[in-house]
A and B are shown apart, each in its own frame.
Chain A
Amino acid sequence: MTLMKSLLGAAASLALTAGASLAEPALIFDLGGKFDKSFNEAAYTGAERWAEETGGTYREIELQSEAQREQALRRFAEAGANPIVTMGFAMADPLSTVAPDYPDTKFVVIDVSWLDVPNLRQVAFAEHEGSYLVGMMAAMASKSGTVGFVGGMDVPLIRHFGCGYAQGVKAVNPDAKIVANMTGTTPAAWNDPVKGSELTKAQISQGADVIYAAAGGTGVGVLQTAADEGILSIGVDSNQNHLHPGKVLTSMLKRVDVAVYEAMKAGDAVETGVFTMGLAEDGVGYALDDNNADLVTDEMKAAVDEARQKIIDGEITVTSYYENDSCPALSF
């Protein structure tokens, strides 16, 4: 009996030290799922790059419901994962309750910048700047002078995308009409391609001939319908040009992969605080590859690159939706 006890004790202490010394990073995907061909997939790409380069392993979970957020955070923290990388604004509330309970664990969150938690690295992207650039391209590619925007769930972040886009459109063509729709008001709006298709058809019938989708999995339906109906679309977050070669004008890149990669590379020594990745840091941008080479004219490219430089130099200011919760170029 005593032998059994000491054996078990030894095994337990071994397990504990193993857990502590490993300190694997952990990655929590948001409700859209790991392979949404967009936001979460970018995080996956970054994590895989880290795993490949360092030969390390990481823990991961795809959230299935709102209730799992806090649970997943605590489980990873208890298991000794460090740092714990989380995706999306919806993690803000769970993080602000969970993170203070584990002061020795570093947490990373993408798309949040307003929390006051010492052991949290908050990475925000200047999506309005990237959206401004693709907005300019949309206005230049549009023949009808009407462009569309399909958002996912109606949250400030998506309005932030739409707002930058609208300003870019207006910068090229002040008379342009922008048709903006949101898919819904619940998280299901990230995964409803049928509704995305119908919104696209409705926008096409209102004259739109370039449509920007910032809607996670719903965007798959938007891009599909745009390709079927013979108009151009703009992808988001990851490079989505390859989904319909020659039919996707460009994609607004948000280098979530870089943010995740850097956090994992730094390991448990990751710097905490608020970081913003904009055009200057190459955190956002537009995608140019073989699939859309014929769609992007030299004139377009020159204008966009010039605007990019001007934004970095501060000559052009793109108004952020967050500043006063309204948009100068578009009313939602």
Chain B
Amino acid sequence: MDFLTIVQVLDSTIRLSTPLLLACLAGLFSERAGIFDIGLEGKMLAAAFFSAAVAAVTGSVWLGLAAGTLASLVLSALHGLASITFRGNQLISGVAINFLASGITVLIAQDWFSQGGRTPSLMGGARFEGLEFPFAIGPSDAEAAGSTVSQLIADAGPVQQVYSELLSGHSVLVYLAFLAVPASWWVLYRTRFGLRLRAVGENPAAVDTAGVSVVGLRFAAVAICGVLCGIAGAYLATALQAGFVKEMTAGRGYIALAALIFAKWRPWHAMFACVLFGFLQAIALRYQAVRLGDFTIPVQVMDALPYILVVVILAGLVGKATPPRAGGEPYVKER
């Protein structure tokens, strides 16, 4: 394994962990406020579809992003209505959202585009292009040199390789996702809103006694969750891919939930957990069959590795993961 290969695997790690990270932070806000959310998957899926659909129709990826976020917010509002206002079971509401999104995206896609539940391929301005940093090797250099980007990077020095391959060339949403980590930390731990939000997940009665609206805070948290899930979905459909394909989230919302528990509901740890899962997936994709001497580890083992690790970590290594105390319980002011 040479240096460039390591850089490439890390590059793939960043791409694969971005949707996980956004979904994980989304879950963090919601669950810290006491609203369990297993509907992350469904919200991402709905956002992926609506962002791709609107981008395909209007030709503008930013309108697509807005539409995807809006779709995710609507599902969030539904979850909030069921679990905060009507005090329903949060897990059941989340499962319902997943099923709803899975069915409705394909249905609407079929009605609008008649391409079997997918959107047309996005071209030009309807997609997020990679940001090219100054002095980094990008598509414009490749065109000038009449070569491919990967070839130019392979010929460059190690510093340029790290800079061009790993840091430069991602879509703007990737940088946004990683910036959202310190931002989340700051909001949750350094602002009055964050203090109240965490308190409402631990002891809503105390927050209520202090004269702060529990319902308002919880709805705010669920809305933030919706926005982050919306960005995650839009990233999948308009940055990583050029269009929506049915069930394209492929279980990433559930992996994000596992990462959240692994991180014990803390933003920085959430980032490390998501990057770890992304790294394992990248390794599995790059090394489909690993040879250790005479013994070959089959590709199936590599594919299953991230999931095996989830079980192992959750069962033993992580220690005691204590969820927010009031998590999953609707707040009842008076009986």
Contacts and interface: CB of A to CB of B under 8 A. Distances in A.
Given A35-B116, A185-B300, A198-B285, A220 B245 contact: yes
Contact of A33 (B246, B288, B300, B303): B246
Given A182-B299, A201-B12, A193 B241 contact: yes
Contacts of A191: 245-248
Contact of A243 (B121, B150, B281, B303): B121
Interface stretch (A85-93, A224-232, A289-297, A321-329): A224-232
A62 B106 CA distance: 13
A280 B58 CA distance: 47
A60 B195 CA distance: 57
A198 B282 contact: yes
A194 interface: yes
A35 B286 contact: no
Contacts, number: 78
A84 interface: no
B149 interface: yes
B303 A224 contact: no
Given A181-B288, A204-B150, A224-B242, A194 B12 contact: no
Interface residues of A, number: 33
B116 A194 contact: no
A33 B116 contact: yes
B15 interface: yes
A185 B246 CA distance: 19
Given A36-B116, A182-B299, A198 B15 contact: yes
Nearest to A34: B116
B118 interface: yes
B241 A229 contact: no
Nearest to B147: A230
Given A205-B150, A230-B142, A194 B236 contact: yes
Given A35-B115, A194-B248, A217-B245, A202 B8 contact: yes
Interface hub of A36, A193, A199 (most chain B Cβ within 10 A): A193
A331 to B, nearest CB: 9
Contacts of B117: 33, 35
A221 interface: yes
B16 A198 contact: yes
Nearest to B142: A230
A220 B300 CA distance: 23
A224 B239 CA distance: 12
B150 A229 contact: yes
A36 B115 CA distance: 8
A184 B303 contact: yes
Interface in B1-40: 4-5, 8, 12, 15-16
A250 B281 CA distance: 31
Interface in A126-170: 154
A192 interface: yes
Contact of A188 (B149, B241, B250): B250
Nearest to B252: A194
28 contacts: A33-B246, A34-B116, A35-B116, A36-B116, A154-B299, A184-B303, A188-B250, A191-B245, A191-B247, A192-B248, A194-B240, A194-B241, A194-B250, A195-B285, A197-B241, A198-B15, A198-B285, A202-B286, A205-B4, A205-B5, A205-B8, A217-B118, A217-B245, A224-B121, A224-B242, A229-B150, A230-B148, A230-B149
Closest 9 CB pairs of A and B: A35-B116, A205-B8, A33-B116, A202-B286, A198-B285, A35-B115, A34-B116, A230-B148, A224-B242
Given A191-B247, A194-B250, A220-B243, 6 more contacts: A33-B246, A182-B299, A194-B236, A198-B281, A205-B8, A220-B118
